[in-house]
């Protein structure tokens, strides 16, 4: 298989397979999780403004008072890499084109140099977060194979994408193909690893907000 | 220098628009530093050098900017050889703008040469020898 | 029929629901919950990380309710939950968790870890892995009527004392009263002033109230051990009493878990909504204060601070009222760092104070409270939970800190003028 | 008369300066540093013109003659033509006057007389289907002809994408079973000069190299001269700065298109295409596809025909949503089935519930 055949495969068949597994997995997992249901809360509710599932979905994105100081790496590193990922994934021109091609939706892109900077910062943040996971006793204690694996799955697309744009290490065609392949791996594993929090985080926050909101506690 | 040799035409939406809208990539100003460095080297070691303008990602507007910025010096030479070639010294002595056209008039290659005299202008000893032979023939014809 | 692993597993299968599934899938192992848990912050031992306390339940969830987990179990990748494992987890689920809810308050993905711990305790208790201390408390509550073994005659003796000392009659089984007042056995034994305070306050407010001879004990050890069936037995006593006496409101005493067990969990274990309101005494006092039914005179002049009981504040949403009440009677009220919603637990909630073998850990964890207190150096510490009060007193004694602990309701009652009380009657 | 090449050229009216200028331009086209142009001029000027011009045999297989057109039309009587004059083109169906048996004879004579020394140029792919019956010359299949001619060749030049990579005949579903030269010949040096058609100066550049240095130029992993195929169209594209700035033409007639912005969104395959169009240009340096406002098709890359639509941006996948929709149905069905199983399990656990009594707390 030559470079171009490799790229053609990852853009064609490979992507077909990855997207299919992703879509299939996400739906299956969402059903599997949320169909378990929940008993109605029979206690008399207490209404408090701001205490609801929807409020919590948004409010939980803000760190609780004092927590940033306690675990600065988790928060600053975490924010940086999540926001960075969002910028790189959704505001890089070739990515927007992909979305446009699939959905018909498009929006303005950011200059490539800026994306480049964001990518480097994001990768740096991810490395810092990884170092923190290795260094901090609690994180190391909680870490399983899945944590190292999903970190790698998330890091590879950034790295290969950056190397491709920078024309480093391997010819662009091969690097681009590897980049797409790494994204495909990410898509394939996302529904079955802790990366699925990208979906369940909203459900979890909503439940937390709903259950506590019933008691009039704005969490 | 026939500007129409550059086939792409960039439409300027307005005079005041941003540099990028005028077709400038921002790569041309960087070249000035490189030229300065090469000129320094020429003075220090006498080593001549050249920059292949076709090998760089420069837009037609970039080339125009560069040409205007470097300006025209005192010397300009034209060579007729399978199409016209122009060798023009810029306002910076020792920095030459060399453009080779093919017989269709299109630009075949374009260089900035940093040298005291471009190699192409100098006569080759072999050719000079032929010239001398020719001169001797002319002289012998006199008698 | 006795406790067994099978029974525990079956109960867990019954209680694992969509929120729990969502929470387990959302956890990214960031470990931030550890920073919120005083058992971790004071010991530095990562095994006290809140989410880790649920590890056996997480595996069981995956093995029972996810396809990949089932496959994993089938091929031996995921080990089944064993008795030994649950026994090892007893310390994590009971001794080192007070259900304080700080972990749920900080989890960035919104996992309600306390919610999960209460469900896990269902399985732990059904499989026979609940601590002896709490089992004993449940036993006494169910058979005798209160976790400390207090019976009605003891309550009646207290009533008589109060009537003699303050000259205010204490109604018992008065049908049609507006309020039915519950007590916690700690109050009956250790803090009898509470009953007197209620009498004075009710008299001033001009409200009718009563105690109930079949339901005076508010604490619910069944809720603490995590067994809905036993919790139901205890809640039903109160429901029956309240319905028999046709009261409008049942007042939960100064006890955090009694409040959570009755106010938020009661209707759910009973399986139907209550026909009466449930309020914490602080909520009632807050209402009286707002309506002008609570009038005090004089002020405490020493330096006071307030310890928010977790179940009242963070888990119960009552935060402002106690502060308004404090300011009503205290000139020099200062707040500890993290006071209010994010206050640190005393270390003995959720049944933990009943576990003898957990005392050392509890005292270790108390260092957090100590540092909070050291930051403001109060003369006295006010709270609104009898259990907190006892745990605080133990901790303060251990660290040789001379800070008396008082109940808020009693302190308010002390400032009710006797005259007014008589005139109002 | 034998002498340095420069003398031969001089006799044909080519001055030393003309030759120097040509070498400078050739070096620029070959992406060599300007100094290499001078070196090439000096080496070639001094090189003795061969006693006998090197023989070149050009065999056309499954092709469209576009490659030949490209070569022959590119140079009006110019230096490039003179380079061609320095060789002896002994067989070229399209160009040779001879036909039929005469042509065959010329071919075999050349092969015999120059055995082991001639340069074999192939354009077109070789069909293997139906025992090669899809393309035959003089009753011989292309496969046979290639094997025969390759035996005595010093080196083989695979001219155009068909000969180099199989090209359009090999495009899915490849009805003739077309393959490239390098798929068949394994024991000879092969230079691939892909492109549909290839840039003529690449051919003259390779010849110039062969004449100057007596060797083949440096090749990349796909057998292409590094000088011309070392970098991508995108790297050398004069519109590249606009890509970096995120300025794109969205349609062929919008503001961006008129301003000459990057054509990536319009399907330009420049980033994955290795060729020299951006520097060498076409039609005597007049223009090239991107300069005329159209994206690169990627014609010099293997299987360019099957690489997705020409007007689909590189970052666009073929069509994953079709399968994705089917997967969604399967996923939802699996999810619903699992939901029922889970709920069944849960309600079974519930109905098996035995009310806990005090005794049940102890083992």
Residue D11's domain comprises 1-49
- What does the pLDDT look like over B69-102, one tens digit per residue? 999 998 999 988 878 899 999 999 999 999 988 7
Shared domain for C196 and C273, answered yes or no, is yes
User: Which CATH number is D250's domain given?
Assistant: 4.10.480.10
Which chains share 3+ C-beta pairs under 8 angstroms with B?
A: D
- Read out DSSP for B37-100? HHHHHHHHH---EEEEGGGS---HHHHHHHHHHH---S-EEEEESSSEEEEEE-SSTTEEEEEE
Interface membership of D34 toward A (CB under 8 Å): no
Per-residue model confidence (pLDDT) at position D33 = 67
Nearest C-alpha neighbor of B86 from the set B96, B94, B95: B96
CB contacts, 8 Å: A22 with chain D: 324, 327
Rounded-to-integer distance, Cα C202 and Cα D218, Å: 101
Looking at chain A from residue 173 to 192, which residues have their Cβ under 8 Å from any Cβ of chain C? 192
Rounded Cα–Cα distance for residues D136 and D130 (Å):
12
Interface of B with D in 1-30 (CB under 8 A): 7-8, 10-11, 13, 20-21, 23, 25-27
Task: Please report residues of B whose CB lies closer than 8 A to that of D240.
Answer: 25, 57
Tell me the pLDDT tens digit for each residue of D192-228: 999 999 988 787 777 777 766 667 788 888 899 888 8
Residues D210 and D264 in one domain: no
Give the CATH H-level superfamily of domain B3-142.
HupH hydrogenase expression protein, C-terminal domain (3.30.1370.140)
Is residue C345 within 8 A of residue C338, CB to CB? The reply is no
Number of folded domains that form chain D: 3
pLDDT at residue number A25: 93
User: Domain for residue D341, yes or no?
Assistant: no
Q: What is the mean pLDDT of residues D305-331?
A: 77
Q: Are residues D74 and D221 in the same domain?
A: yes
Q: What are the domain boundaries of chain B?
A: 3-142
Q: Distance between alpha carbon D127 and the CA centroid of its chain, in Å?
A: 19
For chain C, give the mean pLDDT: 91
Lowest-pLDDT range of A93-107, C144-158, D10-24: D10-24
The DSSP secondary-structure symbol of A136 reads S
Task: Return phi, psi of residue D157, to 5°.
Answer: -105, 115
Interface test with D, best of A9, A10, A37, A93 (most D CBs within 10 A): A93
pLDDT reported for residue A179: 94
D349–C contact, CB cutoff 8 A: yes
| A112 part of contact set with chain D, CB < 8 Å | yes
Is the separation of the CB atoms in C344 and C102 below 8 Å?
yes
Cα C59 to Cα C79, C112, C131: the distances in Å are 8, 18, 22
Least confident span in A5-9, A116-120, B42-46, D76-80: D76-80
| pLDDT score recorded for residue B18 | 54
- Helices (H), ranges, C271-407: 281-290, 320-329, 359-376, 386-398
C295 contact partners, CB below 8 Å, separation of at least 6: C204, C416, C417, C420
CB A97 within 8 A of CB A129: no
Q: Which residues of C touch A49 (CB under 8 A)?
A: none
The nearest CA of chain D is from the CA of C208 a distance in Å of: 37
Subunit contact B59:D255, Cβ cutoff 8 A: no
- Residue D202: its pLDDT value, please? 81
Give kind and range of the element (H or E) at residue C382. Answer: strand C380-383
How many Å from the N-terminal Cα to the C-terminal Cα in chain A?
55
Q: How many angstroms separate the CA of residue C233 from the nearest CA in chain D? A: 10
| Dist. CA C383–CA C306, nearest whole Å | 6
Specify the DSSP element, H or E, that contains C102: helix C102-106
CB burial of residue D271 (10 Å; 0-12, 13-18, 19+): buried
Distance, CA of D146 to CA of D133 (rounded, Å): 14
Chain A contact present for C265, CB below 8 A: yes
Q: What CA–CA distance (Å, rounded) separates C287 from C404?
A: 28
Split into its structural domains, chain A has a count of: 1
Q: So what's the ipTM on this one?
A: 0.66
Q: Is the minimum CB–CB distance between D151 and chain B shorter than 8 Å?
A: no
Contacting partners of chain D (3+ CB pairs under 8 A): A, B, C
Q: What is the pLDDT of residue D43?
A: 67
Of the partner residues D232, D244, D308, the one whose CB lies closest to the CB of residue A11: D308
- D200/D268 same-domain check: no
Q: For residue A118, what pLDDT is reported?
A: 96
pLDDT digits (tens, 9 = 90+) for D34-76: 776 777 677 666 665 554 567 788 899 999 988 888 877 655 4
Same domain, C14 and C104: yes
CA distance D329 to chain A (A): 8
| Strands, sheet with D190-193, edge to edge from the N-terminal-most edge strand | D88-92, D55-60, D118-123, D153-159, D190-193
Asked if A216 is an interface residue toward chain C (Cβ–Cβ < 8 A), one would say: yes
Q: Are residues C283 and C189 in the same domain?
A: yes
Of A92-96, C116-120, C225-229, D198-202, the range with the highest mean pLDDT is C116-120
Q: Which of B49, B51, B58 sits opposite D238 (nearest CB)?
A: B58
Contact C253, C217 (CB under 8 A): no
Cα–Cα dist D221/D119, whole Å: 21
Kindly list the residues from chain D whose CB atom is less than 8 angstroms away from the CB atom of residue A26.
Answer: 331
Establish if A190 belongs to a structural domain. Answer: yes
What separation in angstroms does the CA of C230 have from each of A134, C222, D24? 44, 5, 96
Residue C54, C-beta contacts closer than 8 angstroms, at least 6 positions apart = C24, C113, C116, C117, C120
Among C242, C268, C290, give the residue marking a domain's end.
Answer: C290
pLDDT band at D78 (very low <50, low <70, confident <90, very high): low
In a domain, A219, yes or no: no
Please give the distance of CA C243 from its chain centroid, rounded to a whole number.
Answer: 24
**Measured distance CA(D90)–CA(D95) in Å, rounded:** 10
Flag if A43 and C267 touch (Cβ within 8 Å). yes
Q: Inter-chain contact C67–D338, Cβ cutoff 8 Å?
A: yes
Q: What's the CA dihedral at D151, D156, D161, D167 to 10 degrees?
A: 10
Least confident range from D97-101, D143-147, D259-263: namely D97-101
Asked if residue D160 and residue D117 are part of one domain, the reply reads yes
H-run or E-run covering C82: none
Number of neighbours of residue D279 by Cβ within 10 angstroms: 24
Q: How close, in Å, is residue A55 to chain D by CA atoms?
A: 28
Q: What is the pLDDT of residue C421?
A: 45
Q: How far apart are the first and last CA of chain D?
A: 114
Q: Which stretches does DSSP call E strand in chain D?
A: 55-60, 88-92, 118-123, 126-127, 136-137, 140-141, 153-159, 178-179, 190-193
C-alpha span between D267 and D252 (Å, rounded): 11
CB-nearest to A208 from C25, C104, C278 is C104
Model confidence band, residue D92 (pLDDT cutoffs 50, 70, 90): confident
**D16 reaches B (C-beta below 8 A):** yes
**Residues in chain C closer than 8 A to A139 (CB atoms):** 29-31
Asked whether the whole model's pTM tops 0.80, one would answer no
C-chain residues near A46 (CB < 8 A): 317
Is-contact C73 C80, C-beta < 8 A? yes
Give C264 to chain A, closest Cα distance, Å. Answer: 5
CA distance C358 to chain A (A): 22
CATH number, domain of D176, equals: 3.40.50.700
Find the range with the poorest average confidence among B11-20, B33-42, C322-331, D289-298: B11-20
> In chain B, what residues touch D21 (CB-CB under 8 Å)?
79, 81-82, 85, 100, 120
Joined together, the tokens standing for residue D246 give 């995120």
Other Cβ atoms closer than 10 A to D235: 15
* CB within 8 Å: C2 and D345: no
CB D165 within 8 A of CB D274: no
Domain limit, last residue, from C260, C290, C320? C290
Whole-Å CA distances, B10 to B28, B58, D292: 16, 13, 12
Distance in angstroms (rounded) separating the CA atoms of residues C122 and C8: 8
| pLDDT > 70? residue B7 | no
Q: Chain D contacts of C142, Cβ < 8 Å? A: 358
The range of the structural domain enclosing residue C235 comes to 146-290
**Tens-digit pLDDT profile for residues C188-246:** 887 788 898 999 999 999 999 999 999 988 989 899 999 999 999 999 999 999 999 99
A110 touches D: beta carbon within 8 Å: yes
Read off the pLDDT of each residue in A177-182 and give the average, rounded to a whole number: 94
Shortest Cα distance from B7 to chain D (angstroms)? Answer: 7
Confirm or reject contact between C268 and chain A (CB < 8 A): yes
Query: How close does chain A come to D207, measured CA to CA in Å?
Result: 27
Could you tell me the end-to-end alpha-carbon distance of chain C, in angstroms, rounded to an integer?
A: 55
Cα–Cα distance, D51 to B63 (Å, whole number): 45
Task: Retrieve residue A197's tokens.
Answer: 């929090």
- Cα torsion C162, C168, C174, C178: sign: negative
| Nearest residue to A136 (alpha-carbon basis) of A70, A79, A195 | A70
pLDDT at D121 exceeding the cut of 80? yes
Nearest to D327 among A4, A21, A98 (CB): A21
Asked if B touches A (at least 3 Cβ pairs < 8 angstroms), the answer reads: no
* Contact state of D313 with A173 under an 8 Å Cβ cutoff: no
Q: Give yes or no for residue A197 having a pLDDT over 90.
A: yes
Q: Is the peptide bond before D173 cis (omega within 30 degrees of 0)?
A: yes
What total of structural domains would you count in chain C? 3
For the segment A149-158, the average pLDDT, to the nearest whole number, is 96
Residue B11 has pLDDT above 60, yes or no: no
Interface contact D78, partner B, CB < 8 A: yes
DSSP A53-102: HHHHHHHTTSPPTTHHHHSHIIIIIHHHHHHHHHHHHHHBHHHHHHHHHH
**CATH code of the domain covering residue A162:** 1.20.950
- Residue range C29-35: average pLDDT? 94
Contact between D358 and C230 using a beta-carbon 8 Å cutoff: yes
Looking at the fold, whether C402 and C358 belong to one and the same domain comes out as yes
Q: Does D294 touch chain B (CB under 8 A)?
A: no
d(CA C280, CA C385): 10
Q: What is the pLDDT of residues D259-273, one digit of tens each?
A: 889 998 898 999 889
Tell whether D110 and D201 lie within a shared domain: yes
A170 touches chain D (CB under 8 A): no
State the pLDDT at residue B12.
40
The reply to whether residue D349 touches residue C11, judged by beta carbons under 8 angstroms, is yes
Neighbours of chain A (3+ CB pairs under 8 A): C, D
Mean pLDDT calculated for residue range B126-136 = 90
Q: In what side-by-side order are the strands of the sheet with B49-52? A: B49-52, B107-114, B95-101, B84-89, B76-80
Q: Is residue D198 in a domain?
A: yes
């Amino acid at each position: 298989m030559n470079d171009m055949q490799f790229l053609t495969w990852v853009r064609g068949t490979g992507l077909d397979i990855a997207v299919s597994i992703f879509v299939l997995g996400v739906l299956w997992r969402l059903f599997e999780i949320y169909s378990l249901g929940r008993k109605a809360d029979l206690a008399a509710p207490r209404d408090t403004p701001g205490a609801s599932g929807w409020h919590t979905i948004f409010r939980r994105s803000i760190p609780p008072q004092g927590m940033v100081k306690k675990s600065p790496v988790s928060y600053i590193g975490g924010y940086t890499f999540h926001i960075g990922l969002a910028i790189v994934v959704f505001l890089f021109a070739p990515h927007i084109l992909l979305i446009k091609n699939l959905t018909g939706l498009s929006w303005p892109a950011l200059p490539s140099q800026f994306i480049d900077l964001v990518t480097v910062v994001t990768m740096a943040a991810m490395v810092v977060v990884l170092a923190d996971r290795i260094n901090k006793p609690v994180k190391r204690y909680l870490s399983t194979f899945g944590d190292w694996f999903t970190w790698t799955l998330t890091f590879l697309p950034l790295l290969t994408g950056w190397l491709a744009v920078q024309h480093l290490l391997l010819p662009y065609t091969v690097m681009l193909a590897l980049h797409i392949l790494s994204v495909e791996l990410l898509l394939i594993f996302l529904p079955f690893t802790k990366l699925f929090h990208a979906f369940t985080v909203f459900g979890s926050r909503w439940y937390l907000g709903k259950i506590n909101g019933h008691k009039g506690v704005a969490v | 220098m026939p500007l129409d040799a550059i086939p792409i035409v960039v439409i300027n939406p307005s005079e005041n628009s941003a540099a990028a809208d005028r077709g400038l990539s921002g790569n041309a100003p960087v070249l000035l530093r490189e030229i300065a460095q090469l000129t320094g080297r020429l003075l220090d070691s006498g080593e001549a050098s050249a920059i292949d303008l076709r090998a760089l990602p420069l837009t037609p507007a970039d080339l125009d900017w560069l040409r205007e910025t470097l300006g025209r010096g005192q010397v300009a030479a034209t060579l007729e050889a399978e199409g016209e070639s122009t060798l023009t010294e810029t306002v910076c002595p020792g920095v030459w703008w060399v453009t080779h056209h093919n017989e269709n008039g299109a630009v075949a290659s374009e260089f900035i040469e940093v040298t005291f005299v471009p190699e192409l202008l100098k006569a080759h000893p072999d050719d000079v020898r032929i010239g001398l032979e020719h001169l001797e023939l002319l002289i012998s014809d006199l008698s | 029929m006795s406790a067994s692993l099978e029974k525990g597993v079956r109960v867990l299968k019954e209680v694992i629901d969509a929120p729990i599934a969502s929470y387990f899938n959302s956890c990214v192992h960031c470990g931030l919950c550890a920073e919120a848990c005083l058992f971790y912050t004071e010991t530095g031992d990562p095994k006290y990380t809140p989410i880790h306390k649920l590890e056996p339940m997480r595996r069981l969830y995956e093995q029972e309710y996810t396809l990949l987990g089932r496959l994993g179990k089938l091929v031996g990748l995921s080990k089944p939950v064993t008795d030994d494992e649950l026994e090892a987890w007893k310390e994590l689920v009971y001794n080192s968790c007070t259900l304080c809810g700080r972990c749920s308050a900080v989890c960035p993905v919104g996992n309600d870890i306390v919610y999960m711990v209460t469900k896990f305790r269902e399985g732990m208790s059904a499989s026979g892995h609940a601590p002896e201390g709490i089992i004993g408390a449940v036993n006494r509550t169910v058979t005798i009527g209160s976790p400390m073994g207090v019976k009605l005659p003891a309550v009646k003796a207290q009533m008589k004392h109060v009537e003699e000392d303050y000259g205010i009659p204490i109604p018992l089984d008065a049908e049609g009263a507006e309020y039915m007042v519950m007590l916690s056995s700690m109050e009956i034994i250790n803090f009898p002033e509470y009953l007197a305070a209620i009498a004075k306050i009710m008299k001033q407010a001009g409200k009718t109230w009563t105690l109930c001879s079949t339901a005076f004990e508010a604490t619910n050890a069944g809720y603490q051990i995590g067994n809905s069936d036993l919790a139901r037995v205890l809640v039903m006593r109160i429901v029956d009493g309240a319905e028999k006496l046709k009261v409008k409101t049942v007042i939960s005493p100064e006890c955090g878990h009694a409040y959570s067990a009755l106010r938020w969990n009661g209707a759910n274990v009973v399986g139907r909504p209550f026909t009466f309101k449930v309020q914490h005494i602080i909520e009632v006092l807050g209402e009286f204060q707002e309506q002008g039914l609570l009038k005090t005179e004089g002020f405490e002049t020493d330096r006071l601070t307030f310890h928010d009981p977790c179940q009242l504040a963070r888990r119960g949403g009552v935060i402002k009222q106690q502060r308004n009440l404090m300011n009503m009677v205290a000139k020099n009220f200062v707040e500890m760092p993290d006071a209010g919603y994010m206050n640190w637990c005393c270390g003995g909630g959720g049944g933990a104070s009943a576990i003898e073998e957990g005392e050392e850990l509890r005292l270790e964890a108390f260092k957090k409270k100590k540092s909070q207190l050291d930051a403001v150096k109060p003369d006295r510490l006010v709270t609104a939970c009898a259990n907190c009060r006892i745990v605080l007193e133990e901790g303060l004694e251990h660290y040789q800190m001379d800070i008396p602990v008082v109940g808020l309701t009693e302190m308010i009652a002390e400032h009710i003028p006797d005259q007014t009380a008589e005139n109002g009657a | 008369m034998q002498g340095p090449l420069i003398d031969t050229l001089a006799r044909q009216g080519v001055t030393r300066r003309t030759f120097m200028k040509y070498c400078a331009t050739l070096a620029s086209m070959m992406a060599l540093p300007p100094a290499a142009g001078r070196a090439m001029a000096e080496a070639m000027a001094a090189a003795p013109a061969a006693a006998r011009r090197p023989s070149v045999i050009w065999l056309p297989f499954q092709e469209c003659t576009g490659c030949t057109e490209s070569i022959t039309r590119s140079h009006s009587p110019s230096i490039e033509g003179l380079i061609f004059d320095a060789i002896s083109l002994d067989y070229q169906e399209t160009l040779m006057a001879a036909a039929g048996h005469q042509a065959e004879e010329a071919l075999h004579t050349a092969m015999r007389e120059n055995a082991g020394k001639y340069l074999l140029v192939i354009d077109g792919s070789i069909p293997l289907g139906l025992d090669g019956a899809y393309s035959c010359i003089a009753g011989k299949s292309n496969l046979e002809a290639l094997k025969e001619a390759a035996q005595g060749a010093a080196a083989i030049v695979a001219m155009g994408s068909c000969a180099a990579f199989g090209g359009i005949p090999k495009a899915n579903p490849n009805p003739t079973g077309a393959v490239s030269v390098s798929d068949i010949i394994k024991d000879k040096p092969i230079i691939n000069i892909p492109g549909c058609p290839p840039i003529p100066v690449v051919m003259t550049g390779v010849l110039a190299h062969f004449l100057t240095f007596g060797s083949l130029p440096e090749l990349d992993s796909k057998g292409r001269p590094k000088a011309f195929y070392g970098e991508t169209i995108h790297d050398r594209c004069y519109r590249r700065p606009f890509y970096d700035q995120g300025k794109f033409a969205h349609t062929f007639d919008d503001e961006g298109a008129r301003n000459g912005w990057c054509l990536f969104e319009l399907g330009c395959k420049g980033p994955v295409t290795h060729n020299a169009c951006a520097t060498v240009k076409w039609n005597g340096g007049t223009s090239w596809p991107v300069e005329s406002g159209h994206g690169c098709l990627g014609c010099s890359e293997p299987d360019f025909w099957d690489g997705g639509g020409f007007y689909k941006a590189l970052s666009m996948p073929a069509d994953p949503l079709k399968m994705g929709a089917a997967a969604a149905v399967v996923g939802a069905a699996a999810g619903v089935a699992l939901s029922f199983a889970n709920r069944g399990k849960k309600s079974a656990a519930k109905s098996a519930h035995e009310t806990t009594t005090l005794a049940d707390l102890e083992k």
